[in-house]
Chains A and B, each alone.
Chain A
Amino acid sequence: MANEAVKYVWEGAIPLQIHLHKSDVASHPSPPPALVLAPRIGYLPLLIPHIKPYFKDSLPPGEDSIWFDYKGVPLKWYIPTGVLFDLLCAEPERPWNLTVHFRGYPSNILIPCEGEDSVKWNFVNSLKEAQYIINGNCKNVMNMSQSDQEDLWTSVMNGDLDAYTKLSPKLKMATIEDEFSRKASLSSPQSRQGATEMDVAGQIKTARVPVRLYVRSINQDFENIEDVPGIDTWDDISYLNRPVEFLREEGKCFTLRNAIESLLPEFIGDRAQTSGEERSRDDDNTEEADGLLREMGEIKLARIQGIEMKLEIPFSWVVNNLMNPEFYLHISVLVKAPQR
C-alpha cells in the first residue's frame, strides 16, 4: 500500500500552458503557448529546456533570465511545482496557465536562479535541513560521495523512483513508525524500547518531522472554493518552515489535524466533524462559549500532493507516503482567520 502511494506521488504531474510574456515577444505573430507536463515533485526551472525551443525565435536579442508568473505573481522557483499549484489555484485549473519571461528578472523579490545548479543546490540544502531535523545531524548527506549525490539528484530530476529507492537508503534517514503497523508489531522487541529515543532499526519514538506549511487565510466563508480570491502577492501567504514534534501517546493517534494545529495553535478547537459534536456545541449555549467559538479559526482545506486531505488521517501515514524526495512534507492550507 505504501509503495503504491509513493509511486502515485512520483508520477503526479500538472499540465501547464505556458504563454510568453508580451514584452518578450519580438516576432509577429506572437507564438502560441507551449504545453508541458510538469512533474509535481519537480521545479519550474527544470522545464526550461523543454520550453525555450518553442519561443527562441520570438525572443529579443540579449541574455536570458527566465522566470514565471501566475496572474502577475512571480513564482518562487525553489518551491516544488505541485505545491505552487495546490497553493495558488484554490480551484485547480487544468491546464494551468502560466506566463514565462525571458527578461526583467525581479531580483528584488526572487532570489537568483542559475538554472539546474541552483535548483540542485536548493534541493541538497533542503535535504540537509530535513536530515538535521530527523536525525539530529546531517552527516550522512555530507558524507555521501559526490557521485551518489549527483545520482540522487538526477533520479529526482528524471522522476526515476527506482533509482531513487536504490540510493535513498544511503541517507540512513530515521523512519517514523506507521500507526497502522504499530499494533501488529506490539509484540516485537523493537516496540519495547524504553528510554532510548532511537532503536537499532532507526525508528524514533519522539520524532521531529520536516514540514513546510503554506497558509492562505481568508476572512469569510465561501460557498464554492472557486470563489476564493487569488493572491496578489506572496505577503498573502504565511510560510512556516518548522518541524512538527510528533507525539507518540499510548492509545492515541497523532493525526494530520494534530500536526497542523501544533504549528498553528490558534486553530485548535475546530471540532465540528460529526452531527453529535455539533449538537453538544449547541447545547453549550452560554455567552462565553459563543465568544470562544467565534474567536477560533477554522482549517477549511489542507492539500498535500494535490489531495484534499481528511484531517483525521494518521500523520505517520501522511509523512511516510506523501513527502517530497528531499524528505519534506509540504502542506498547503486554507484557513478562515479567527475573528477578533
Chain B
Amino acid sequence: MNSGREVSDGRLTVEGFSVAARAFADKWKIHNQSFPPWSWVPLINRTLHLSNQQEEGYLSLEEILILSSLEESPEDESLNVATDCLEKEESVDHTILNQENEAHYYDFHIVYSSSYKVPVLYFRGYCSGGQPLSLDVIKKDLPSCSVSLLHESKWTFITQEEHPYLNRPWFKLHPCGTEDWIKLLSQSSISTGCQMPVDLYLVSWFSVVGQVVGLRIPLEMLN
C-alpha cells in the first residue's frame, strides 16, 4: 500500500492519516482561531512503549464548553457562534447557553480505524462535575439540523462504544460508507478524476462529519 500523496479510493493508510491529521490541525489553527487548536496525542502506550518508527496517534479537541443560543434563529444552526462575525469585538469563547443553563463540556477525538482505513469521530459530553451526558441530552445540545441528519441518513448514526484506547465509553459516529462519500467529494472538487491530496483528506472529511456534531469549519480551510 503506498503512503503516497493522493488518495483515490476514499481510504487512508495509517501514515496518510498522520499526514492528513497534521495538515488538518495546522489549517484549523490558522483559519479557526475562535476555537482552541486540535492536539496530536501519540500512542505511547504505557504498557507497551510502542516504538516511534511510525508515529501513530489521534487528534484531540477537548473541554469545548457548549451552551445553546438563547434566541435560536433558524439560520444560525451552528455551535460555532463567532466564525463569520467580524464585527464581534470582544473575544468569544465557544459558549452557547443550553436549555438547562448548565455548562456542558465536550471532547472530540479523531481516531484512525485500521479495519475500515478511514478516520472515525469519537466524542463525549459531561457536566462540570464530570458526570457523563446521555445521548438524549447531547442531542439537545446539537443544532436541530444535525439531529434530523442523524435520523434521516443511513451513514451517520451514533453508537456508544468503548474508545479504542481509553477503556471508557464514548460515542462514535459510524464510519460505514465513509470511503464512498469521500470519493464523491474528490470527484466534485478536483477535476483530475477521483484523486484527493492526502493533506486535504481530513479537512474534507470534517467538513461533512463536523456538521453532524455541530462543528462547522470555515470555507477557507478547504482551499
Contact = CB atoms under 8 A, between A and B. Distances in A.
B50 interface: yes
Contacts, number: 63
* Interface SS majority for chain B: loop
A168 interface: no
B193 interface: no
Given A111-B162, A111-B169, A112-B160, A217 B48 contact: yes
A129 B46 contact: no
A82 interface: no
A239 B161 CA distance: 14
Interface of A: 76, 78, 107-112, 128-129, 132-133, 138, 210, 215-217, 233-239, 241-243, 264-266, 335, 337-338, 340
B101 interface: no
Given A242-B114, A265-B53, A235 B46 contact: yes
B47 A236 contact: yes
B48 A266 contact: yes
Contacts of A78: 162
Interface size on B, as a range, is 20 to 34
Contacts of A236: 47
Interface in B157-177: 160-162, 164-165, 167-169, 176
Nearest to A267: B48
Q: Which of A109, A111, A138 has the most CB of B within 10 A?
A: A111
A265 B14 CA distance: 15
B9 to A, nearest CB: 10
B37 interface: no
A243 B114 contact: yes
B132 A107 contact: yes
B169 to A, nearest CB: 4
29 contacts: A76-B162, A78-B162, A108-B132, A108-B168, A109-B169, A111-B160, A111-B161, A111-B162, A111-B169, A112-B169, A128-B176, A132-B116, A133-B115, A215-B47, A215-B48, A216-B47, A235-B46, A236-B47, A237-B47, A238-B47, A241-B164, A242-B114, A242-B115, A243-B114, A243-B115, A265-B51, A265-B53, A266-B48, A337-B48
